[in-house]
Amino acid sequence: MSDTESRDSREVEQSDTEDGYEPRDIFGTTTEMDLRSGADNCTKVGTCDAECPVAEVDDDFPGPQFQGPEQWRLSSKGDVEIDDSVTKCSNCLRCDSGCPSGVPFSEMHNTARAKYVLEDQPLSIKKIRNRILANYRTSAWLASKLPRTANFFMNNGIVRWLMEKTMKIPSEREFPEFATQTFREWWAERGGEATSKERAQEARAQRGDAPVHSDEKRVAYFHGCYSNYNTTQVAKSMVRAYESLGYEITVPKQKCSGTPMFANGRVDDARRHAKVNVEHLGDAIEDGYDVICTCSSCSLALRQEYPDLFDLDGIDELAAHTYDALEYLRIHEDLEAELEGATVDAPDVAYHAPCHSRNQGLGRQAVELFADVDGVAVTDVGDSCSGISGTYGWKAEKYETSMAIGEEMFEHMEAVDAETGMTECPTCAMQMEHGTGYEIMHPIEVLETALT
């Protein structure tokens, strides 16, 4: 067929509409999430499988290319059950960043996992355990009522032996310590928003860089579960650092971001929590606040997973107004000038960039930020995954895989001339501590020391 012939035939086909062409709706409309375009984008180049840290250590895991586009095609053909290997995916999102064709892996995996757990997975101890792990907020809330007792029992040998036997929670792991006072209790005792406003205004008056009374410089803090119930020092550092720069803070009502729920297929639970978050954070956004997070998985959930998975009023506005706590200051403040000449009294640190920070493009910001600050040397330990992936490493049957993935990071941490670790993700921090015995800091803690 020559060029002219083929062209003519196309023109004939199109000539029945006024503009010469009218797109036709071939696939019909549907209210279900349509991932067909994602599956069609896949060219089977296999970079996703090459980047996958689970496929790297586990030959029984078919890899993201199967879990995403191939399984979608299979299951859309009819009554095919989702393969249970989807529960082996750790939700690190490296397939997302590796794909040259924009296949929405995480969205496909979350959807497939939810379908598997909610429709296909038979009831078992593991299924119940996964739901308990997914709803960490509930356990943490209970534990926070009697934190000292909880701390005693959760790391008691007999209790842990029983937990391993009955609930398949690996006894090797150390349970995170519960704070004797939650961040929210501390915040309320300190005087909440009113105190924050006062302190921010004092700072603004001292700095003279912004009007003392102004509606600018206001942030709503999404602390998530972990810095509320466990590492409250991270949340407090964030408050002090932001106030010292003149920011007024509010701490809206909130629930779990949903990260552990997506990873365990409990999209039903996640949706309930998301509704509360979108409503209350949305109110703050309407009042002129931006939302900031200190946990990289929380910010990822609010920014990416929410609009991917849920159709709620205000969800896109929330995604567009949510930032990581350091990222926000890098955009709105001249941090280089703020930190010029600053000396901090902090140990040198081996820094691990969490997968969920890297996925937001934030994997290098902590290293860059502290490069010229005296008193702390920050060394990046490279691009390996820590392997814990939230609740993943908290399952007895995944423990070995989790530690095998983490091996490279542990080695790199040991090779660095530092005895302390640093990361933004609370579960990466657990894994770093578990593998090396180091104490682990959050970058915002170092920033607070430098600024105040």
Partner 1 sequence: MAIDSDVLVIGGGIAGLSAALSAAREGAEVRLVTEAETTLHHASGLLDVLGYTPDGEGPVVDPFATIGDLPDSHPYAIVGERTVRDGLAMIDEVLGETYRGEHTDANALVPTHGGTVKPTARYPASVAAGLASDDRDVLLVDFERLTGFDAGVAADHLADGGIPAETSAATVEFPVTVRDDAKVTRYAHLLDENPTVTVDGRDRHVRAALADAIDPHTGDAKRVGLPAVLGVDHPAEIRAELGERLDAAVFEVPMGPPSVLGTRLEDWLYAVLDDAGVEIEAGGGPIVNFDADDRTISEVYMDRSGSPIPYGAEQYVLATGDVAGGGIDSDRDGVAEPIFDCHVPHPSDRYEWFNDDAFGDHAFVTFGVVVDETLRPIDDADDPEFANLRAAGAVIGGYDYPAEKSASGVSIATGYAAGRHAAREV
Binding site for partner 1 (CB under 8 A): 1, 3, 6-7, 10, 21, 45-47, 49-51, 55-56, 59-60, 62-63, 97-98, 100, 303-304, 307, 316, 319-323, 327, 330-334, 336, 358-365, 368, 383
Closest of 433, 427, 398 to residue 413, by C-alpha: 433
Give one word for 420, left, alpha or beta, with left for phi > 0 and alpha for psi -120 to 50.
Answer: beta
- CB closer to partner 1 out of 245 and 388: 245
Q: How far is the CB of 50 from partner 1 (least distance, A)?
A: 4
Q: How far is the CB of 103 from partner 1 (least distance, A)?
A: 13
- CB closer to partner 1 out of 318 and 396: 318
State both tokens at 127.
């299924």
Q: How far is the CB of 201 from partner 1 (least distance, A)?
A: 21
Asked if residues 22 and 56 have their Cβ atoms less than 8 Å apart, the reply is no
- CB closer to partner 1 out of 98 and 260: 98
Sequence-distant (6+) residues with CB within 8 A of 422 are 349, 350, 351, 352, 366, 378, 440, 441, 442, 443, 446
- CB closer to partner 1 out of 167 and 377: 377
- CB closer to partner 1 out of 47 and 195: 47
Give one word for 265, left, alpha or beta, with left for phi > 0 and alpha for psi -120 to 50.
Answer: left
Q: How far is the CB of 219 from partner 1 (least distance, A)?
A: 14
For tokens 């089977």, what's the residue?
44
CA distances from 294 to 226, 283, 307 (A): 10, 20, 20
Q: How far is the CB of 217 from partner 1 (least distance, A)?
A: 12
- CB closer to partner 1 out of 50 and 342: 50
Sequence-distant (6+) residues with CB within 8 A of 248 are 193, 196, 197, 200, 201, 217, 218, 219
Q: How far is the CB of 169 from partner 1 (least distance, A)?
A: 29
For tokens 């990873």, what's the residue?
263
